[in-house]
Chains A and B, each alone.
Chain A
Amino acid sequence: EAGVAQSPRYKIIEKRQSVAFWCNPISGHATLYWYQQILGQGPKLLIQFQNNGVVDDSQLPKDRFSAERLKGVDSTLKIQPAKLEDSAVYLCASSFLGVWETQYFGPGTRLLVL
C-alpha cells in the first residue's frame, strides 16, 4: 500500500514570497490533515478535511494560509505572504475516517523562510 506522498521535500523562499505544498493521501482515506511542526515542538494541526469539506481550521492563520482539497483526494496548502516564523516542517496525514483513528503521515516538506 502506497503511503502519503508530499512534495516538494524542501523549499527555501524569502519573506513575503508565496509557497505551495502538495499532498496525496492514502487511497480511500476520507480525512486529510495538515500540520505545522516547528523545530523542537510537536506537530500542530492547522486544518482537517473530510472528503471535500473542512472539518476544523481553527488553528489556521487564515490571513496568510489557505488550503483546499479538490475532489476529495489531493490537497494543497498555500502560504502568501510568508513570514520568518513560518519556517517549519509541514506534515500531511490521512486517516480512514477521523481523528480517533490511526493517522498516516507523509515525510513532510521542510520550509525555510529567509
Chain B
Amino acid sequence: GENVEQHPSTLSVQEGDSAVIKCTYSDSASNYFPWYKQELGKGPQLIIDIRSNVGEKKDQRIAVTLNKTAKHFSLHITETQPEDSAVYFCAASSITGNQFYFGTGTSLTVIP
C-alpha cells in the first residue's frame, strides 16, 4: 500500500512568517493530494488539494506544490496568523486504488 511521510512533526513560527510542511509518498499511482487542518476536538477540514496533472495551486495565503518525479508535495502558508495554529495532515489517494492515506501530522504553532 501507500506510505505517506510528513515533516516536520512540530513547527513554531512567528506571526507573519511563512510555514512549510513537506510530504513524500511511495505509490506512483497516487494522483490526488489533499491537505487537511484539524483543530482541537474537531474533525479534519480540507484546506487545499492538488491533482497530479497540476504542479502548483494557490488559494490566498495557502499554496501547495507537487513534484511527481520526486514523489513529494508541500504546503506553504504565508503571513501566518494565530488562527492558523492547528495540526495539518497531508494525504494521498488514487482513483484506481480506492484507498486513502494520511500523513502523521504537523502541529503548527503561530506565536503572536
Write the residues of chain A forming the contact surface with B, with a CB cutoff of 8 angstroms: 4, 33, 40-45, 48, 55-56, 58, 91, 93, 98-100, 102-108
Which residue of chain A has the shortest Cβ distance to B4 in the bound complex? A42
Q: Are A43 and B102 touching (Cβ within 8 A)? A: yes
- Chain A residues positioned under 8 Å from B4 (CB to CB): 42
Smallest CB–CB gap between A91 and chain B, Å? 5
User: What is the CA–CA distance of A45 and B105 in the complex, to the nearest angstrom?
Assistant: 15
Most chain A C-beta atoms within 10 Å of own C-beta, residue among B34, B43, B91, B100: B43
Q: Are B105 and A91 touching (Cβ within 8 A)? A: no
Smallest CB–CB gap between B86 and chain A, Å? 13
Q: Are B104 and A100 touching (Cβ within 8 A)? A: no
User: What is the CA–CA distance of A53 and B93 in the complex, to the nearest angstrom?
Assistant: 20
Which residue of chain A has the shortest Cβ distance to B44 in the bound complex? A105
Contact with A along B88-105 (1 / 0, CB 8 A): 010101110111111111
Q: Are B43 and A107 touching (Cβ within 8 A)? A: yes
User: What is the CA–CA distance of A58 and B98 in the complex, to the nearest angstrom?
Assistant: 11
Asked if B46 is at the interface (CB within 8 A of a chain A CB), the reply is yes
Choose from B45, B97, B103 the contact partner of A42 (Cβ within 8 Å).
Answer: B103
Smallest CB–CB gap between B37 and chain A, Å? 11
Contact with A along B74-112 (1 / 0, CB 8 A): 000000000000000101011101111111110000000
- Chain A residues positioned under 8 Å from B99 (CB to CB): 45, 56, 58, 99
27 contacts between A and B (CB under 8 A): A4-B43, A40-B105, A41-B104, A41-B105, A42-B6, A42-B89, A42-B102, A42-B105, A43-B44, A44-B102, A56-B98, A56-B99, A58-B99, A91-B43, A93-B43, A98-B95, A99-B98, A99-B99, A100-B93, A100-B94, A100-B95, A102-B34, A103-B34, A103-B100, A104-B46, A105-B44, A107-B41
Smallest CB–CB gap between B109 and chain A, Å? 15
Which residue of chain B has the shortest Cβ distance to A89 in the bound complex? B43
